Amino acid sequence: METLVKINIAEMKDGIKKAAEIQKFYKNQRKTVHIKGDRLMDAKEATRQHLSNREKLRIMYAAYGIARGKSFSQIESRWSNENHPLKKYQYEIDKLLKVYQFEDK
């Protein structure tokens, strides 16, 4: 009997939604430089976390697109497939796809 390796798309979408919510929080904390009452973290730390999470989200969106059978130029259509900037994240994308894999019998 042959086993197929599939990607758990629903779990991947859930991870993207959680990271997007965290991104909104960082963006809000980054912009509240002069408001002292609502701040839970320093604006510089929020900016650093926002930039880090933005790269993570880009990799997650790219992995989601590849799991759905799209090419890099279809995921981010500004660039052609030959010199696409997502190619430098290929290792991280493959690693993320392995996290969401499961075997179907």
Q: 7-26: per-residue pLDDT in tens? A: 888 999 999 999 999 999 88
Q: 83-98: per-residue pLDDT in tens? A: 888 889 999 999 999 9
Domains in the chain: boundaries? 4-100
Please give the biggest Cα pair distance in the chain.
Answer: 63
As a whole number, the mean pLDDT across the chain is 85
User: Average pLDDT, stretch 78-83?
Assistant: 80
Residue 37, CB-side half-sphere exposure with 13 Å CA sphere: 0
Going by C-alpha positions, the residue among 24, 52, 51, 29 that lies closest to residue 41 is 29
pTM: 0.82
